[in-house]
């Protein structure tokens, strides 16, 4: 899946349209986490430092798709990006289809940066309409996809625009290049032992990934609420823990598939439980194996964390998607914290570690290990779909290396 990147294209004097993922969390007009903006800087700098004109486009939040909404304006992002680049970043119009945009692009100097207003102010973006893609393509000589977080979406800026570019260059940015390298290339031939860590709430969310990775993995470690659906399938008592009743048969099928394969499928053997789904209410107890009625599992127990950590530290390739418990709450954070530290220790010892975005990435940050890991994905949903073995049209449309 090797693709040309922006580094392969001469950009001096060229209009370079870059699809970035600036869908950052906001508190009013204050950005509470600018990692996605900082993550796009290498691609943007590669363009402007070589004399290209960088025209950036992104979505932000969930506007109605019926025109400009101030609450979802890209203005705070333009301000923060300008601070990081130490140059002005303009938003030429409130409408991505406005004639003002073409005029503003024509007035750009080499090395300038422009940010289009929120793509999702237009309902045609999410509908993937060809006309909107054609409008965006008309602004550019070169198209760059550096928005891995939306690569699994066939939206206009992701698919219709590169199609409309025709024979003009269509390349990956450095973020997308890195995601493809780790989530596709590395997992095509993972170094063994290969361990997959899956957590979170729902078996249904992770089932396709388990089925795809089962033939490749040496170990699949299961934690989080999804573990209780598997334990229910094994006939264990899980108390009031969350169970997807409609998925019990599927969970049983996965257990049988694992038994017939080389893969060891691991489930929690002890549990930190509470009578309430709350941080500071309810009675908390640790149960070995089976859970008493009235209690729900909210984290893996210390025996499980120790066993899982040992497996992880002996691994050469590690994929982690989903926490082991409600790590945001102090009484139930230790399972996820110990797993995060084990993954970091294994990486320090030479393993390749791939963290699948979302809550896992947040946990890696919270517990201070993110900078010790090989790769922390910028796209939760996209990374999970790539772990399921899916192809993305938005990536397939980019020029081959």
* pLDDT value for 357: 67
* pLDDT value for 100: 94
Residues 258 and 149 in one domain: no
Residues 149 and 13 in one domain: yes
DSSP assignment letter at 365? H
Provide the token pair at 35.
Answer: 């990692």
Dist CA 31 CA 19 (whole Å): 20
Residues 343 and 220 in one domain: yes
Number of domains composing the chain: 2
Dist CA 79 CA 92 (whole Å): 14
Q: What is the CATH classification number for the domain harbouring 120?
A: 3.40.50.1260
Q: Which among 45, 381, 389, 393 is annotated as catalytic?
A: 381
Given 132, 160, 179, which residue is the final one in a domain? 179
Of 189, 190, 202, 209, the C-alpha closest to 356 is 209
Which residue ranges of the chain lie beneath pLDDT 70? 1, 357
321 within domain boundaries: yes
85 within domain boundaries: yes
Task: Name the average pLDDT for the chain.
Answer: 94
Residues 160 and 196 in one domain: no
Q: Which among 3, 15, 19, 36 is annotated as catalytic?
A: 36
Distances (CA, A) of 24 to 31, 77, 145, 276: 7, 8, 18, 32
Q: Which among 357, 358, 379, 380 is annotated as catalytic?
A: 358
Residues 296 and 367 in one domain: yes
What is the reported pTM?
Answer: 0.85
Q: Which residue has tokens 């289809």?
A: 97
Active-site residue flag, 94: no
Active-site residue flag, 389: no
394 within domain boundaries: no
Q: Which among 45, 79, 168, 202 is annotated as catalytic?
A: 202
Residues 331 and 242 in one domain: yes
Provide the token pair at 114.
Answer: 């422009």
Residues 175 and 199 in one domain: no
Active-site residue flag, 202: yes
Instruction: Dump pLDDT digits (tens) for 74-117.
Output: 999 999 999 999 999 999 999 999 999 999 999 999 999 999 99
Residues 166 and 207 in one domain: no
Residues 30 and 155 in one domain: yes
Given 179, 212, 227, which residue is the final one in a domain? 179
* Other Cβ atoms within 10 Å of 375 Cβ, number: 19
Half-sphere exposure of 315 (CA within 13 A, CB side): 30
Residues 59 and 119 in one domain: yes
Given 142, 159, 179, which residue is the final one in a domain? 179
Residues 45 and 149 in one domain: yes
Instruction: Quickly count helices (H) and strands (E) in the chain.
Output: 16, 17
326 within domain boundaries: yes
Dist CA 75 CA 267 (whole Å): 47
* pLDDT value for 189: 87
Q: Please report which helix (H) or strand (E) contains residue 179, including its range.
A: helix 174-180
306 within domain boundaries: yes
* pLDDT value for 309: 98
Residues 199 and 329 in one domain: yes
Q: Which residue has tokens 């700098």?
A: 45
With b meaning 16 or more CB within 10 Å and e meaning fewer, what string describes 244-264?
A: beebbebbbebeeebeeeebe
Q: Please report which helix (H) or strand (E) contains residue 396, including its range.
A: helix 393-396
* pLDDT value for 1: 61
397 within domain boundaries: no
Dist CA 274 CA 244 (whole Å): 19
Q: Which domain holds residue 75?
A: 6-179
* pLDDT value for 389: 81
């Amino acid at each position: 899946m090797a693709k040309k990147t922006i580094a392969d294209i001469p950009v001096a004097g060229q209009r370079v349209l870059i699809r970035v993922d600036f869908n950052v969390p906001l508190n009013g007009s204050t950005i509470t986490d600018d990692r996605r903006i900082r993550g796009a800087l290498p691609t943007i700098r590669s363009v402007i430092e070589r004399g290209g004109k960088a025209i950036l486009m992104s979505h932000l939040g969930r506007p109605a798709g019926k025109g400009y909404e101030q609450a979802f304006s890209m203005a705070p992002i333009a301000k923060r990006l300008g601070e990081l680049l130490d140059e002005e970043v303009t938003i030429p119009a409130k409408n991505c289809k406005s004639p003002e945009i073409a005029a503003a692009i024509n007035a750009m100097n080499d090395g300038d940066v422009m940010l289009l207003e929120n793509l999702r102010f237009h309902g045609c973006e999410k509908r993937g309409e060809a006309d909107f893609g054609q409008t965006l393509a008309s602004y550019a000589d070169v198209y760059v996809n550096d928005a891995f977080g939306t690569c699994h979406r066939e939206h206009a800026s992701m698919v219709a625009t590169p199609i409309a570019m025709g024979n003009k260059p269509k390349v990956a940015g450095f973020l997308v290049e890195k995601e493809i390298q780790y989530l596709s290339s590395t997992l095509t031939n993972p170094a063994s032992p290969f361990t997959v860590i899956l957590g979170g709430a729902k078996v249904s969310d992770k089932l396709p990934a388990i089925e795809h990775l089962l033939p490749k993995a040496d170990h699949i470690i299961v934690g989080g609420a999804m573990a209780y659906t598997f334990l229910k399938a094994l006939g264990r008592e899980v108390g009031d823990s969350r169970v997807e009743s409609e998925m019990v048969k599927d969970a049983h099928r996965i257990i049988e598939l694992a038994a017939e394969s080389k893969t060891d499928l691991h489930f929690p053997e002890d549990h930190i439980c509470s009578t309430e789904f709350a941080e500071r209410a309810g009675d908390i107890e640790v149960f070995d194996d089976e859970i008493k009625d009235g209690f729900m599992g909210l984290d893996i127990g210390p025996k499980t964390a120790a066993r899982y950590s040992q497996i992880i530290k002996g691994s050469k390739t590690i994929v982690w998607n989903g926490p082991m418990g409600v790590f945001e709450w102090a009484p139930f954070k230790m399972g996820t914290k110990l797993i995060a530290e084990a993954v970091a220790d294994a990486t320090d010892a030479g393993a390749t570690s791939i963290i699948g975005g979302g809550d896992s990435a947040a946990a890696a940050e919270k517990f201070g290990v993110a900078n010790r890991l090989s790769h922390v994905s910028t796209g939760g949903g996209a990374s999970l779909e790539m772990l399921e073995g899916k192809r993305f049209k938005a990536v397939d449309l980019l020029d081959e290396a």
